[in-house]
Amino acid sequence: MSSEEYADPLVAPASEGPDRLHYAIGMMLDAEDFADEQRYHRGRLARALRYLFGTGTVAGLNVEEQPGGGAPTEEIRVTAGLAIDPLGRLLELPRAVCMDLGRWFDAVVADDDQRALLLDARGGDDMVTVDVFARFCVCPRGLTPAFATGPYDALDAAQPSRLRDGVEVFLAIRTNPAFEPPPASPPLWDDAGIRAARRIHGWREGSDAWSQDLPDALPEHGDDVDPTAVMLARLAVKVTGAGDPESLTLAAEAVGVENDIRRMVPAIGPIIRPPSGV
């Protein structure tokens, strides 16, 4: 059972206003009605977060290098934290996660398309730019007996009783490392330019800012990256060897980590709370 079977219904452009359930005594309800109830409240919260605060890191999610003792860096560590994705969903990482950089590199080299991308992205100094992203994922859990649905006839059917809001951290090779980084945070107060931009380009859902069922990619997403992912950091890794898989190796050098390139969600705490000691 994979998370793809339980795609998040919030990933869809809104063509009409949302419907709220209306209850009446004696009304028959089914599973879809309760799903619609959740979808309404989740959608309202996500819309408010997206338009009030934007997308980016709220707190934490620092990317750190874990030295490998003379060998190539063994792990990239992402600390616990919270972010808002381009759909307004909360990405909450309750504890730190680690990624094996060597294992990721081996998988890239073994894949023809990814290996070609790696070679195209490698500069004259053998450095390759790799971006760290986090994205929302659905994790089904707690299988429970249920009626079979669809063209099935089974007495032992089961469905997950819970869907956990998860976070997937992944690496993506960047082919255009010279792109301009996003601003650290928008200005705290509107000026005339910001007000005009809100009037003209501010609306995103169900508009020209969507491509099919996903929002348009932001500049940091590059090619073939989920446009709902949140960029956390940029890595600089050194790759040596020729173009054949056997000769490509990850150099035994420190990995450069750049955390300041990410978007940050502006916090209102410094505005409403005076600095310590004042």
C-alpha to C-alpha distance for 114 and 264, rounded to whole angstroms: 30
**pLDDT tens digits for range 20-61:** 889 999 999 988 899 889 989 998 999 889 888 889 999 999
Residue 4 CB-density burial (10 A; 0-12 exposed, 13-18 middle, 19+ buried): exposed
Given the structure tokens 């089914």, which residue do they identify? 30
pLDDT score recorded for residue 162: 86
pLDDT score recorded for residue 1: 46
- 10-residue stretch averages of pLDDT, the chain, 278 residues long: 66 78 91 89 90 90 80 80 94 94 91 89 87 93 81 72 91 77 59 76 71 80 88 91 81 84 77 56
C-alpha to C-alpha distance for 142 and 158, rounded to whole angstroms: 10
C-alpha to C-alpha distance for 87 and 42, rounded to whole angstroms: 11
What is the token pair recorded at 263? 């978007």
pLDDT score recorded for residue 268: 67
pLDDT score recorded for residue 197: 76
Cβ 160 vs Cβ 142: under 8 Å? yes
C-alpha to C-alpha distance for 77 and 111, rounded to whole angstroms: 24
**Sequence-distant (≥ 6) Cβ neighbours of residue 272 within 8 angstroms:** none
What is the token pair recorded at 60? 């934490």
**Sequence-distant (≥ 6) Cβ neighbours of residue 108 within 8 angstroms:** 114, 115, 118, 173
pLDDT above 70 covers a percentage of the chain that reads 81
**Sequence-distant (≥ 6) Cβ neighbours of residue 270 within 8 angstroms:** none
C-alpha to C-alpha distance for 187 and 96, rounded to whole angstroms: 30
C-alpha to C-alpha distance for 20 and 28, rounded to whole angstroms: 16
User: How far apart, in Å, do the first and last CA atoms of the chain sit?
Assistant: 55
